[in-house]
Amino acid sequence: MADIKLVLGLKDGKSVQKELKGAQAEALLGKRLSETVSGDSLGFSGYEFLITGGSDICGFPMRKGIQEARKRVLVSGGVGFSGLKRDGSKQKGVLRRRTVCGEVVVPTTHQVNMKVVKEGSTPLVEPAVTETAAKKE
């Protein structure tokens, strides 16, 4: 059984974290980066999501173009490498070997980042109860 944490980016710029277990998490297995997923299979009726990233159990980021579960690649920028020196300045022409995981969601994937493409009827975030509203009750 796979347990996957979802980080859902909402259209207003906020994000929501949810956890999927069992059959709902297994619905994500085999999906790739930049693929759309129906929210009905994940328990969010009416929603549609776009997979934008993620990481595996050890924290290595998902990188597009990698077909294996985990691989050490030579990168000059992008996911997994910033190109900054220790003092914060940029370096040009620097290549580094970094470990990244593949673009496919596998059982060792721990977190999947998604953004909302189409919203459903029920909100993902429950409205917060303020102190003044709680005192009125």
Domain range summary for the chain, segments of one domain joined by +: 3-125
Q: What's the predicted TM-score (pTM) here?
A: 0.83
| Pairing outcome for strands 70-75 and 96-101 | antiparallel
Taking only the tens place, the pLDDT of each residue in 56-109 is 999 999 999 999 989 999 988 888 887 777 788 887 888 889 999 999 999 999
Assess contact for 104 and 30: CB atoms under 8 A: yes
- At residue 25, what are phi and psi to the nearest 5 degrees? -70, -35
3-state helix, strand, coil in the chain (%, to 5): 10, 40, 50
Size of the chain in residues: 137
Residue with tokens 């022409």: 93
Taking only the tens place, the pLDDT of each residue in 80-90 is 887 777 788 88
End-to-end alpha carbon distance in the chain: 43
